[in-house]
Amino acid sequence: MTMVQYTAELYHELHALDRFEQDYRRKLQEEDAPTAVQRGENLQILRQELKSQRKHVKSLKKKSLWSKVLEEVMGKLVDVVHFLHLEIYSAFGSADGDKTVGESINYHQRLGSAGLALHYANIITQVDTLVSRSSSVPPNTRDSLYQGLPPTIKSALRSKLQSFEAEEELTAPRIKAEMEKTLRWLLPIATNTSKAHHGFGWVGEWANTGTELNRKPLGHSDLIQIETLHHANKDTTEAYILDLVVWLHHLVSLSRPGGVRSPIKSPLRSPTKKGLKAPSSPLNKSSSPTTVLTRKTETCSETSAPES
């Protein structure tokens, strides 16, 4: 990348050198004109600037791709392309026709191929909306969110709430700060997903499932599928959503008039989150989300049923 940067700088300086040379030639013509006033000092300054610029360009040529042999540069490009291919294969698997049985099963765990990307994006957007108005959340709004949750999240939610206990007193701003750590990168992906399906209306997920990569209705921004939930792993995304819903439950409880009867304390680590690597986002791998908080496994009497 250093050589690429030097090459970009070189072409910028070559344009500057061309301007210096044009100015110098014009000054020389003015000096040769019979009626021209002597400007020897200005011409000398311009000559020094031109000399300095030529020296700078010569130095950049040695540091940049300008001085490299074509075969050497092509070899490096092949290495880069091969590396990118391996990284893409690691994150998303191979093309459909080349998949083994195991890879095919894993492929259908992606939200796009399962036809769930838009639905999960809507859930994430709902959670973010409720966070911004947690002090006045109507019961029907919370019920709507709960009813829209995938069955796996619903089944895990009650035990997750019951096993939640904290070590430090937790405030609403602190809960929002913890949720923001996930929402600040997950929400833009959800928003991109909604935009990518917008042209298809309410049947967007079904209608868009069979479209080719990067094919978008007229007027769409230049979104690519890697910027959406299309390639996101289903289990990993559900783990993030479950964690957000648990936090949202406690946030809404704290935001009620009078708060809660017994203080909720801040967990330090979430058992639903584990590390993973992917070129685009943590949702591309089948492992669980990044560790952020800790929780004990004792029962919390205040959270025996889901409220968010």
User: Using CA of residue 148, residue 149, residue 155, residue 158, what is the dihedral sign?
Assistant: negative
Place of tokens 């405030």: 171
State residue 157's pLDDT score. 93
Q: Mapping DSSP to helix (H, G, I), strand (E, B) and coil, where does residue 287 land?
A: coil
Q: Report the candidate in 153, 145, 231 with the shortest Cα–Cα distance to residue 192.
A: 231
pLDDT digits (tens, 9 = 90+) for 48-99: 889 999 999 999 999 999 999 999 899 989 999 999 988 877 776 665 555 5
Task: Measure CA of the first residue to CA of the last residue in the chain; give whole Å.
Answer: 48
> Do β-strands 265-266 and 168-169 pair in parallel, antiparallel, or remain unpaired?
antiparallel
Percent of the chain scoring above 90 in pLDDT: 38
- The 3-state secondary structure of 227-255 reads HCCCCCEHHHHHHHHHHHHHHHHHHHHHH
Instruction: Give domain limits for the chain.
Output: 2-67, 70-107, 112-303
- The type of residue at 123 is I
For 42, other C-beta atoms within 10 Å of its C-beta total 12
State residue 221's pLDDT score. 52
Average model confidence (pLDDT) across the chain: 75
Distance from C-alpha of 116 to C-alpha of 127, rounded to nearest angstrom: 17
pLDDT digits (tens, 9 = 90+) for 216-275: 444 445 678 889 999 899 999 999 999 999 999 999 888 776 555 434 443 333 334 433
